[in-house]
Amino acid sequence: MKKQVVLYKKLSPLLMARLHEHTDVTLIDSLDAEGLGKLRDALPRAHGLLGASLKLDAELLDLAPNLEAIASVSVGVDNYDIDYLTERRILLSNTPDVLTETTADTGFALILATARRVVELANMVRDGQWTRNIGPAHFGSDVHGKTLGIIGMGRIGEALAQRGHFGFGMPVIYHSNSPKPAVEKRFNAQYRSLNDLLQQADFICLTLPLTAETEGLIGAEEFALMRPESIFINISRGKVVHEAALVQALRSGQIRAAGLDVFEREPLNLDSPLLQLNNVVATPHMGSATHETREAMARCAVDNLLAALAGKRPENLVNIQVWKA
Ligand code: DGY
């Protein structure tokens, strides 16, 4: 008998066909109240789950006694209680690697957009405000040659370092759990303590996962260490930053600008003070959102799920303890 899979994310016809070949699929095509009701109804028969952008807490997963595997279409796994999953021996997999370059592209898009004021000035043209040659009031700041500071030197951090070093001639400094000699060699990067990095970098880029240790890592004290010309970029998770402190730092001129793809609460509310600031470029958590990369992520998640349901170790297993056990 085929295993039961509950999808809470639409897949391409090709991937749907692949899943249908091996499993019985229930598709929950939206995560509104009605969709969540359908999900609850489907959970009791689910052996596998595949989707993204949903907090799958114990209350929901207790409805799924037969659950063997969850394939998350994301690299971040902050929507899951890993200890709970491990205790229940549910295999959790994610989709690293395939989104690295695209997410680093988004980081650089935000670096360029904030430094060169791309959104603000493009809107000026659109609003008919370009009536004479622009002057210093509209000038931005250079990106090339400036110091790129990366907090969290994982795959995406490395891809940012590569762009900064080879593409823009930027000195790279970074902070992570421990120094990374290979990265230092490839990108001529230098390790810094967090405080030193905050004081020295022109661009401060967050690429950390959200964990109990990183939640709220950047707050008022950290913004106070940055310089008035610093630009803050967040492509990791909103909750790594105290958003109120960020707003205060931007309003007071403690930092120059922020490029933000992630927020404490998503979608970002229209009444967020961040949206009243010209020196903020806010994007809708689009780090990996290209046709090619989202398809590659979905393919990776399908592979992970089918492997797990066939009793094989998924390539991107997160809670390897379950497999060892
Ligand atoms: C990820 O893959 O974790 C991206 O941030 C999308 O959630």
Our answer to whether residue 285 is catalytic in this structure is yes
Cα 28 to ligand 1 centre (Å): 20
Task: Output the domain CATH number for residue 56.
Answer: 3.40.50.720
Our answer to whether residue 291 is catalytic in this structure is no
pLDDT above 90 for 325: no
Query: Per-residue pLDDT tens for 241-276?
Result: 999 999 999 999 999 999 999 999 999 999 999 999
- Whether 160 and 262 map to the same domain: the answer is yes
pLDDT above 90 for 18: yes
Ligand 1, atom nearest to 94 Cα: 2
- Whether 58 and 178 map to the same domain: the answer is no
Query: Of 34, 266, 292, 315, which is the active-site residue?
Result: 266
The position carrying tokens 């690295």 is 100
Query: Of 47, 117, 192, 237, which is the active-site residue?
Result: 237
- Whether 108 and 10 map to the same domain: the answer is no
Does residue 76 line the site of ligand 1, with CB under 6 A? yes
pLDDT above 90 for 291: yes
168 band by pLDDT with thresholds 50, 70 and 90:
very high
Cα 283 to ligand 1 centre (Å): 14
- Whether 89 and 107 map to the same domain: the answer is no
* DSSP string over 112-131: HHHHTTHHHHHHHHHTT---
Query: Per-residue pLDDT tens for 67-94?
Result: 999 999 999 999 999 999 999 999 999 9
pLDDT of residue 102: 98
Name the phi and psi angles at 27, rounded to 5.
Answer: -100, 125
- Distance from CA of residue 223 to its chain's centroid? 21
Does residue 99 line the site of ligand 1, with CB under 6 A? yes
| Residue with CA nearest ligand 1 atom 4 | 74
End-to-end CA distance of the chain: 26
Please compute the mean of the pLDDT values over residues 289-303 and round it to a whole number.
Answer: 98
- Whether 217 and 127 map to the same domain: the answer is yes
Instruction: Residue 298: give the domain boundaries.
Output: 3-96+291-324
pLDDT of residue 257: 98
Our answer to whether residue 229 is catalytic in this structure is no
Does residue 23 line the site of ligand 1, with CB under 6 A? no
- Whether 272 and 131 map to the same domain: the answer is yes
| Residue with CA nearest ligand 1 atom 3 | 76
pLDDT above 90 for 324: no
176 band by pLDDT with thresholds 50, 70 and 90:
very high
HEC letters along 234-297 = ECCCHHHECHHHHHHHHHCCCCCEEEECCCCCCCCCCCCHHHHCCCEEECCCCCCCCHHHHHHH
pLDDT of residue 120: 97
Cα 72 to ligand 1 centre (Å): 9
pLDDT above 90 for 24: yes
Please compute the mean of the pLDDT values over residues 41-69 and round it to a whole number.
Answer: 97
Please state whether the predicted TM-score (pTM) of the whole model is above 0.85: yes
| Residue with CA nearest ligand 1 atom 7 | 74
Query: Of 117, 285, 294, 299, which is the active-site residue?
Result: 285
- Whether 141 and 77 map to the same domain: the answer is no
Ligand 1, atom nearest to 53 Cα: 7
Burial 210-225 (b: 16+ CB within 10 A, else e): beeebeebbeeebbeb
Which tokens sit at 2? 């085929």
- Whether 107 and 244 map to the same domain: the answer is yes
- Whether 75 and 149 map to the same domain: the answer is no
- Whether 90 and 10 map to the same domain: the answer is yes
pLDDT of residue 306: 98
What is the share, in percent, of the chain residues with pLDDT greater than 90?
99
- Whether 172 and 84 map to the same domain: the answer is no
Please compute the mean of the pLDDT values over residues 33-57 and round it to a whole number.
Answer: 97
Contact criterion met (CB below 8 Å) for 15 and 302: yes
- Whether 122 and 26 map to the same domain: the answer is no
The chain-wide mean pLDDT, for the chain, equals 97
Ligand 1, atom nearest to 52 Cα: 7
Ligand 1, atom nearest to 262 Cα: 5
What's the total number of domains in the chain? Answer: 2
